[in-house]
Structure 1
Amino acid sequence: MLVPALPLAAAPAADANLELTLKVMPALAVILLTAAVCGRLANLVMQPRVVGEMIAGVLLGPTLLGALFPGAEAALFPTEVRPVLYVISTLGLTLYMFLVGAGMDHDARSPGEFRKASVLAVSGIGTPMLLGGAVGLVLWDRLSRPDVGRWEFALFLGGALSLTAFPMLARILYERRLQNTRVGRLTLLAASIDDAVAWCLLAALSAVHLGGGAGDTLRTIALAAVFAVVMLGVVAPLLRPLGRRVAATGQLGGGAVYVIILVPLAAGWFTDLIGVYSVFGGFVAGLAMPRDPAFRAALHSRMMDVVSTLLLPVFFAFSGLNTHLAGIAGGPALLAFAVILAVAFCGKYFGCALPTRALGFGWRESWAVGAMMNARGLMILIFINIGLAQGMITQEVFAMLVLVAVLTTAGALPLYKLALPERLERASTAESAVGQARVTV
């Protein structure tokens, strides 16, 4: 039997696709291997895996691999491979932010807890935003792109510095079994509020920056608001029966997985269409998911490992390819970076620790809260990648903020342990357990 030959035009296209696949696969293999090794090394020095993965991304970029072995970097990450990595990283970010939104729990468990968390959140986002915005106004002439306004640049810098790595914070607290302590509940709730406000700010800045005029900007903002209202007011109730079914069985069936994945992808597509980055759509889609704890546990156990192990390292590598730390060399650039780092650290650390003390917590607990809220982790990398992709910041500012992300995240756990050693942790956990038992009785 004769097999029909491919049309002449299709054969070169098939060859090109195969050639691109053979280039993408080695790049992915190197990215995953480097992320695994650096993540393991980070664990060995008592750091979260995400710190190692962030460093892995920088190592694969022009800062190290490109500087020492430019030919190897060009062979691993040629021009035609980078768009593929961008698509994979965008898909991974959208699904990751979807899982972050789905994992948020805003239920206060004791009288006055939401009020206290709101006070901490306002200070935790307000202090670094004011300080970062002030630095942005001063350094605008030195650091900003010429087509970005002074106030737009200041708001972006302040918003980036006000972020807290909510997923990393949650992981630390759950690993140490502190999620139900007074400090743990307060910090998780405050961090979730902080990040939600920061993402809304980024959505507004994106709309302003990408808008063709005042009318287009207002249209984008209005469509984003309508999208959020529809997702939380219409889609969320429609998903509740699905949540009850999953909670009853404790696992996600095949049909449920299709629905759950299609919701954030459709939301991300729509927000991209109206001029707001797809990550915002994924995050709101996560907020619209059923709030049942059993549903959230089943969702995270099914999806988080795949997203965080396969897709997120690609994002870190893509960020590293855009990070040129050599551009920070020189007195003025180093001074600007030192100012930004100092403002980032002090604004969040003292801006959260001092209000926590004023709320009635001890000094050690207050410094522990400041340390945890100061970790920025993956969240700031997402924030600044959007800013770089949309032309709101330069490569130099991007590199500075990548370093801020790595250093503040790496310092979070050591500062936390310094403030709250294990014996005091156990005492805090026992005290919270006794208090919870009294409330229950």
Structure 2
Amino acid sequence: MNQIEFALKVFAALAVVLTATTLCGRLAMLVRQPRVVGEMVAGVLLGPALFGAVAPGVQAQVFPGDVKDVLYVLSTIGLTFYMFLVGSSLDHGLTGGSNMRRASALAVSGIVPTFLLGAATGALFFTSLSPEGSNRWEFMLFVGGALSITAFPMLARILQERGIANTPIGGLTLVAAAIDDAAAWALLAVIIAVGTAGGPLDALDTVVGAALFAVLMLTVGRRLLGRLGERVEREGGMSRDMMALVLLLVLVAGWFTDYIGVFSVFGGFVTGLAMPQSEAVRRELETRLTDLNSILLLPVFFAFSGLNTEVSGFGSGGSLWWPLAVVMLVAFAGKYLGCAAVVRAQGYSWRYASAVGGLMNARGLMILVFINIGLAYDMVSDELFAILVAVAIATTAAAMPIYRASLPDHLERTASDATPPPSPGPPGPPTPPTSVPAGDPNAP
């Protein structure tokens, strides 16, 4: 096969991916679901679940092994820049304010029960669902971490579009989701470091390297990038050379974290956190990077995930239905019940508690990123991967129906009045993010 023929195969595969994810995304929005639900479903349908079952020969021609390798590279680039945009969109004001104590308690209630139940589930199904040669403790930690994650970008966009991002309940949920995600990514970095190195002591170089990278980027790097932000503010925009510098920085950060044994998305995310808190910078990054990333590169990631989702175990007499039911129950109950109980204990009504529990259960794109990293490092079997993809779709699809059932429109309009009993310190919730990546695939 010459280069022209190979390029034609790649273009054909990208066209199929773009068409499928766009159509399914639109269908999801018609039934009042976030676009990301449709895009995740489209990725699964392009794999063995539908395309591979109905027309296996055609699927093999559209997605041969060498084309899948290209899709993997494109999806990795898309994920790295997506996490960069997520990091750059976070408002640093989230880490302050009198609401931080309540949000931290909510975050812990979303992480700890789900993590413990997930780890116990990992131990229960270790023999049947773990990859060959895997370590029991690492497998348990991975399952617990995957189920503990929350889709922060999705929550930010939902709350903004519903007009309650600046309310106490909105700020509370946003801070808790950000803490959940940060904890899950830190845990995954440690699991990868230990798993690839062979033991805790062997992983020391990776852990120290990742920590030094984060510290340097968030101190020296942030100060240097602050000058770039000042220049963008003065000039009212970002020049071609400045944008090239930012892109180069993200690519180098992604390469470095991949090189030391931590996936490239960590480099992109930390670089985003180091970006200046400037509306002009955020606007420029969203305008120039988001459309290509969210319309093409991230759908490629969904397709790549779907191609890796083996559904044979879900057939008649399949062996995966029992573990799927257990994992799904653990994923939902751990987040929903834990978060709802804490919100109710903080003085909110049961309706608000239920709404927050439903939103915190949404895992969206973030759990897919998590498990794809695990697949790349042989930490998750094909069977568990398929189960966790189903969990990602189901919990994300359930988030808005639970929210709407808990807070109908006439009650949602009173959200600004739903304040808990006062706590010591200055009143008011923390300032939520002013933006999330425009065109975010987690958006409704």
C-alpha distance 439-358 of structure 1, shift in aligned 2 (>3 A): closer
Structure 1 unaligned segments of length 5 or more: list them: 1-14
1:299-344 deviation per Cα after TM superposition (whole angstroms, max 9, x unaligned)? 2233222211111000000000000122234464211110000000
Query: How many Å separate the matches in 2 of 1:408 and 1:248?
Result: 44
1:10 corresponds in structure 2 to: none
Which of 337, 348, 351 pairs up with 2:338? 351
Offset of 1:250 from its aligned partner? 4.6
Query: How many Å separate the matches in 1 of 2:30 and 2:202?
Result: 51
Structure with max Cα Rg: 1
Offset of 1:55 from its aligned partner? 0.4
Query: How many Å separate the matches in 1 of 2:301 and 2:428?
Result: 44
In structure 2, give the amino acid aligned to 1:93: L
In structure 1, give the amino acid aligned to 2:44: V
Alignment of 1:56-135 (within 5 A): 56-108=42-94, 111-135=97-121
Q: Structure 1 residue 152 and structure 2 residue 154: aligned?
A: no
Query: How many Å separate the matches in 2 of 1:375 and 1:402?
Result: 13
Contact conserved, 1:328 with 1:396, CA < 8 A, in 2? no
Which of 266, 270, 273 pairs up with 1:284? 270
1:33 corresponds in structure 2 to: 19
Offset of 1:249 from its aligned partner? 4.7
Alignment of 1:13-24 (within 5 A): 16-24=2-10
Query: How many Å separate the matches in 1 of 2:353 and 2:280?
Result: 32
Q: Structure 1 residue 177 and structure 2 residue 163: aligned?
A: yes
Q: Structure 1 residue 305 and structure 2 residue 305: aligned?
A: no
C-alpha distance 65-420 of structure 1, shift in aligned 2 (>3 A): same
Query: How many Å separate the matches in 2 of 1:439 and 1:154?
Result: 39
Offset of 1:279 from its aligned partner? 0.9
Which of 398, 403, 426 pairs up with 2:385? 398
Query: How many Å separate the matches in 2 of 1:364 and 1:376?
Result: 21
1:136-182 deviation per Cα after TM superposition (whole angstroms, max 9, x unaligned)? 11211221123111111010000000000111111111111211111
SS of residue paired to 1:60: helix
In structure 2, give the amino acid aligned to 1:306: L
In structure 2, give the amino acid aligned to 1:378: L
Query: How many Å separate the matches in 1 of 2:351 and 2:345?
Result: 13
Query: How many Å separate the matches in 2 of 1:334 and 1:45?
Result: 27
Cα RMSD of the aligned pairs, angstroms, is: 1.9
Which has the higher mean CA deviation after the structures are superposed, 301-310 or 115-124? 301-310
Contact conserved, 2:169 with 2:418, CA < 8 A, in 1? no
Contact conserved, 1:159 with 1:198, CA < 8 A, in 2? yes
SS of residue paired to 1:192: helix
1:168-197 deviation per Cα after TM superposition (whole angstroms, max 9, x unaligned)? 111111111211111111111111111011
Offset of 1:215 from its aligned partner? 4.3
Query: How many Å separate the matches in 1 of 2:231 and 2:384?
Result: 47
1:202 corresponds in structure 2 to: 188
In structure 2, give the amino acid aligned to 1:86: Y
Alignment of 1:372-387 (within 5 A): 372-387=359-374
Offset of 1:110 from its aligned partner? 8.2
C-alpha distance 174-136 of structure 1, shift in aligned 2 (>3 A): same
Query: How many Å separate the matches in 2 of 1:23 and 1:419?
Result: 48
Identity %: 56
Contact conserved, 2:95 with 2:175, CA < 8 A, in 1? no
1:12 corresponds in structure 2 to: none
SS of residue paired to 2:66: coil
In structure 1, give the amino acid aligned to 2:10: V
1:253 corresponds in structure 2 to: 239
Q: Structure 1 residue 162 and structure 2 residue 118: aligned?
A: no
Q: Which has the higher contact order (CA 8 A, sep 6+)?
A: 2
Contact conserved, 2:107 with 2:176, CA < 8 A, in 1? yes
Query: How many Å separate the matches in 2 of 1:99 and 1:34?
Result: 25
Which of 352, 360, 371 pairs up with 2:358? 371
Offset of 1:294 from its aligned partner? 4.0
TM-score norm. by structure 1 comes to 0.92
Contact conserved, 2:40 with 2:393, CA < 8 A, in 1? yes
Q: What is the total number of aligned residue pairs between the two structures?
A: 422
1:227-270 deviation per Cα after TM superposition (whole angstroms, max 9, x unaligned)? 11111111111101212232445533222211221221111000
1:349-404 deviation per Cα after TM superposition (whole angstroms, max 9, x unaligned)? 11111111111212111111111110000000000001011100100000000000
C-alpha distance 248-346 of structure 1, shift in aligned 2 (>3 A): farther
Structure 2 unaligned segments of length 5 or more: list them: 430-444
Q: Structure 1 residue 140 and structure 2 residue 126: aligned?
A: yes
Query: How many Å separate the matches in 2 of 1:127 and 1:62?
Result: 33
Offset of 1:204 from its aligned partner? 0.6
Which of 192, 196, 210 pairs up with 1:224? 210
In structure 2, give the amino acid aligned to 1:18: I
SS of residue paired to 1:324: coil
